[in-house]
Structure 1
Amino acid sequence: MNFIDTWAIPSISNVAIPSQDFTHIVETVVNAYLPKGVVLVALLWWVWFRPERAEAPGDESVRRHNRELVVIAIASGLVALVAGRLLAHYLPFRLRPMYEPGLRAFFPEANVDEPVLRTWSSFPSDHAMLWCAVAMGIFLASRPVGAYALLHAVVLIGLPRIYLGVHYPTDVLAGAALGIGIAWVMSAGAIRTRVAAPVLALAQHYPAVFYGAAFVLSFELATQFQEPRVLAHSLLHGI
């Protein structure tokens, strides 16, 4: 372990509430979708339909800018997911801390419902990459709501996974930094407008197709493409 993890894991263990009920609550947060991606996806929809004053000058350009940022938030999240998988695959394999015999004393006995934890490298945290990228897109559209989104990603997505030993602290820190960085780069004017243009054109000319596809994408994003990822993993490994 690096010095950050060596210091952080015992520190978190020392301040954690020594209660099976608390551990059960954290397990529920980690295993459920509602306190994780569903909230942030709902905030993306809020940004998309965010009302502007009808009489305000430049109202349409503001609305278009907000919708471009929604597209960029989702695109950044998808890029983050792919980048996270590539990094986990090509970097040296890192076993989850919950499976390290020397670290078991620092983590509670927990039941985390993820079937590929043992075979997928811990570094970086793809949860942190995805949701910090999405939260950063929300932040660029609305500072107050985006600040909550970033806090939500850290407190309800990152910290519980560290507490249960699903990730090392540096897995989450690196994932968060990469996700925020990807969203920041993709939000640059030239990239943002080019990526968002075909999506906004589809929404304008074929709204029924667009919103149907947006619903499916929202569902898969909120569940972090869990079923397609497990299916792909099974096909690749012949399971």
Structure 2
Amino acid sequence: MWLSWPAFPVDTMSSLATAIMGLDKEILLTLNSIGGRNQDLWDLANNSLFRGFPLFFSIVALWFSNEQPERRGRMLAGLMAVCLATMLSVWSQFHTAVHMRPILDLAIPLDTVIPRTPWDRTNSFPSDTATLFFSLATVVFVEKRWIGLFCFAWVAVIVAIPRVIMGLHYPSDIIGALVLGPATVFTFAKLPYPKRLFECAFRWLDGRMYIVHALLFIFLAEAFDLFPSLQALGKLFARLLHA
């Protein structure tokens, strides 16, 4: 006996989508009216050291607080997931058209300290910055839940919400990042193969862990400001492939 899912009328789905978009815009304008002209808020939210310190400090502290290969393998698998989730969010902004970035839509009456000039990515779903920081918070959460919860709250208040206030993203962009980032990290944390791969690498590098430490620091230095060098290399390779 076949089970059939209830069919929703096209008009109902369209009305639901319109209602969600309307709510998205309403929340955006409400938050923007509260602090869109607050230069100090934006300076804090856009300061790499201030916004990233709790997360990167926690990751480095957790890394050196326990030398067990299992934990370090799990953390490296999580950081691999951070990179993948961030790449997926950037790819989505370039190749999907969910909605235009609010600050680029001159029909939206935003009051913001950020110049409303053209960007290389007109689409804003999901937020790549929020994806990165929510993913990093998840890496911390997997190892230490209370510290991870603090990192999630920090990212929401310091990184994510101000990006809506300034008109860089809709609230749905942040929700998309909150789903994409943690889901990717949790998946990699549960899968046995990435962890085992790194544990095997640790055994092979026995006595030469300084190599792993050096690579970790290079990764964190790139992640500190949203992988600028990797993004530049990606754009370069894309130009070369289409030349």
TM-score, scaled to structure 2: 0.79
Amino acid paired to 1:108 = T
> Pairwise mapping of residues 63-102 of structure 1 onto structure 2 (< 5 A)?
63-92=68-97, 94-102=99-107
Give me the whole-angstrom Cα distance separating, in 1, the residues matched to 2:234 and 2:194: 30
Quick one: which amino acid aligns to residue 97 of structure 2? P
Q: What are the superposed Cα offsets for residues 71-105 of structure 1, whole Å, 9 maximum, x if unpaired? A: 133111111012112222331263210121121x3
User: Which residue is equivalent to 1:34?
Assistant: 49
The one-letter code sitting in structure 1 at the alignment partner of 2:40 is I
Moved more, 23-32 or 169-178: 23-32
Distance 2:151 2:203 in 1: 28
TM-score, length basis structure 1 = 0.80
Which of 105, 114, 139 in structure 2 is aligned with 1:110? 114
Q: Which amino acid aligns with 2:134?
A: C
Counterpart among 60, 64, 80 of residue 49 in structure 1 = 64
Query: In 1, Cα distance between the equivalents of 2:88 and 2:23?
Result: 23
Identical positions, percent:
17
Alpha-carbon distance in 1 for matches of 2:120, 2:129: 16
Q: Give the AA of the match of 1:82.
A: M
Query: In the alignment, what sits opposite 1:6?
Result: 25
Q: Which runs of 5+ in 1 are unaligned?
A: 52-59
Gaps of 5+ in 2: 1-17
1:69–1:154 distance in 2 versus 1, CA, 3 Å: farther
* Gap change, CA 1:196 and 1:153, over 3 Å in 2: farther
Q: Distance in 1 between matches of 2:217 and 2:137?
A: 19
Between stretches 28-37 and 187-196, larger displacement belongs to: 187-196
Judging changes above 3 Å, is the alpha-carbon distance between structure 1 residues 73 and 143 closer, same or farther for their aligned structure 2 residues? same
Who is 1:171 aligned against? 173
**Residue 107 of structure 2: SS of its match in structure 1?**
helix
Aligned letter for 2:93?
A: A
- Letter matched to residue 4 of structure 1: L
